[in-house]
Amino acid sequence: MRKNYIWYQFFRQFIVRRGLHLFYSSFKAIGKENLPKDKPVIFVPNHQNSFMDALMVACSNFFYLFFLTRAKAFKPPVMGAFLRSLNMLPVYRVRDGFSSVQKNNAIFEQCFEILRRKESILIFAEANHNLKRRIRPLSKGFTRIAFGAEEKNNWELGLQIIPVGINYDKHEKVRRKVNVAYGKPIPVRDFKELYEENDRAASNELKKRVSDSMKTLTMHVTNLNKYPLHKILLDDLEADRDQLIDPNLVNSRVKQINDKASEEDFAEAKEVDQLAHKHNVDLHELAFPVKWKLTDIIMLPVYLFSFVNNIIPYQPGRYLIQNVIKDRAFDASIKFLSGLVTFPFFYIVVAGILLLSGLTFLWAIAYLVISLLTAPAFIRAKELFTTSRGTQFEKSKPDIYQELKNRLKILKEKRDSFLSE
């Protein structure tokens, strides 16, 4: 047994996995029948949502995973020790200096040994994260590891590449839906003959096979100039979020829009997207403002308790996102990681205060249980009890607000026309 096995599994299964099921309203994996047994695997997922992407893969299967991670994340040394305890391995870039890049050779040798033991590695072949719903060009790092491992084991390793598509309902939001789609395995040995003839051609062919598979596992828009129209029609104007995270359905709709939309439609969507970005407006929130429902009235006592009970531990994550973190792709990661600490800590402190005030142990336990059960209601309570950005924008800039509403209405009509049978 690996020396950190118990700690790694405890952190993954009892802390992160349970945290994810509180953080998201739905967390599903499809295509798990494609995961091979008793063979080493390199997982290659799309990379849109920062640290959350690694957690999605790690907690939607039971493979003993190692993760290739940017070397700068391992500073200071205490953080490096913590990350290594979770099977994270540092990868150096050219910007880190030539001497640092040479350290990658030792990391690659470590990867070869991991795969020889029939364990698994996760590599973000897109290299960096980006919130756009598309597959970007893949780097060759994973092919170097894959071919190197097989070559070192006389092509008898049986190494499989598993393309992965991670589909988020709303990347930065809490209590939303996630769908992790596993593609069919790609045996590295299939490329042996080509690799021995021309290693560069083999690397390019493997990258193409993996990329093509990934494009079927998550929404993919090839042309960046056309992306705003797809984003608005298929994401911002989509009421049924299950349809957005269904890769087969959403990609068929991408094709429908490409076939039917005019250059004027793409230009209009680009203007609307730029106007919304300029004024920091979420077009989905603009299209679907928060409204009270009958279930909200029934749940009002739960919402009130959850709002009062969670508004304080919610603040550290909120502060970091609003004042420290500039990259929106880190929003969900900051909310999740800070929440793993601040919410349990706050609940324990309040339970301790209840005990010190003279209440029995049973009262403290009851508070902890009720806090956990009602925690998922906090997000809906916050939506109902606080002023949304859309409402604030409507009051501060009513003319632009109305312009965006009118232009969204026209685009909604376009959507209905394009997606009609």
Would 364 be classed as within a structural domain? yes
Q: Is the CB of residue 162 less than 8 Å from the CB of residue 199?
A: no
The DSSP-derived string for 191-218 is: GHHHHHH-HHHHHHHHHHHHHHHHHHHS
Nearest partner of 73 among 316, 330, 344, judged by Cα = 330
Instruction: Answer with the one of 168, 201, 217 that is the final residue of a domain.
Output: 217
Residues 263, 180 within the same domain? no
- Cis amide leading into 45 (omega within 30): no
Would 234 be classed as within a structural domain? yes
Residues 138, 234 within the same domain? no
Residues 409, 379 within the same domain? no
Residues 209, 358 within the same domain? no
Domain ranges, residue 255: 224-275+398-418
Would 285 be classed as within a structural domain? no
Spell out the per-residue pLDDT of the chain, length 421, in tens: 677 899 999 999 999 999 999 999 999 999 999 999 999 999 999 999 999 999 999 999 999 999 999 898 898 889 999 999 999 999 987 666 666 667 889 999 999 999 999 999 999 999 899 999 999 999 999 999 999 999 999 999 999 999 999 999 999 999 999 999 999 999 999 999 999 999 999 999 999 999 999 999 999 999 999 999 999 999 999 999 999 999 999 999 999 999 999 999 999 999 999 999 999 999 999 999 999 999 999 999 999 999 999 999 999 999 999 999 999 999 999 999 999 999 999 999 999 999 999 999 999 999 999 999 999 999 999 999 999 888 999 999 999 999 999 999 999 999 999 999 6
Instruction: Answer with the one of 217, 235, 257 that is the final residue of a domain.
Output: 217
Residues 173, 232 within the same domain? no
Please tell me whether residue 180 adopts helix, strand or coil conformation.
strand
Q: Is the CB of residue 257 less than 8 Å from the CB of residue 230?
A: yes
Residues 136, 243 within the same domain? no
Task: State how far the Cα of 368 lies from the Cα of 48, in Å rounded to an integer.
Answer: 34
Residues 106, 179 within the same domain? yes
What's the one-letter identity of residue 270? K
Structurally, how many domains does the chain consist of?
3
| pLDDT score, position 102 | 78
Helix (H) or strand (E) holding 41: strand 41-45
Would 347 be classed as within a structural domain? yes
Residues 21, 78 within the same domain? yes
Residues with Cβ within 8 Å of residue 210, at least 6 apart in sequence: 44, 125, 138, 142, 161, 163, 186
Query: H helices within 294-360, ranges in order?
Result: 294-298, 300-323, 331-356
pTM of the predicted model as reported, rounded to 2 decimal places: 0.96
| pLDDT score, position 36 | 97
Residues 28, 151 within the same domain? yes
Would 42 be classed as within a structural domain? yes
Write down the residue that tokens 């970005």 correspond to: 277
Would 280 be classed as within a structural domain? no
Residues 104, 160 within the same domain? yes
Task: State how far the Cα of 391 lies from the Cα of 94, in Å rounded to an integer.
Answer: 46
Instruction: Answer with the one of 167, 194, 217 that is the final residue of a domain.
Output: 217
The rounded Cα 357 to chain-centroid distance in angstroms is: 42
| pLDDT score, position 103 | 84
Task: State how far the Cα of 112 lies from the Cα of 154, in Å rounded to an integer.
Answer: 12
Rg of the chain's alpha carbons, rounded to an integer?
24
Q: How many CA atoms lie within 13 A of 111 on its CB side?
A: 30
Would 287 be classed as within a structural domain? no
Q: Give long-range contacts, CB 8 A cutoff, 24+ apart: 258-266.
A: 258/226, 260/417, 260/418, 261/226, 261/229, 261/414, 261/418, 265/229, 265/414, 266/225, 266/226, 266/228, 266/229
Residues 35, 76 within the same domain? yes
Residues 36, 180 within the same domain? yes
The DSSP-derived string for 155-177 is: T-S--EEEEEEEEESSTT-SS-E
Would 288 be classed as within a structural domain? no
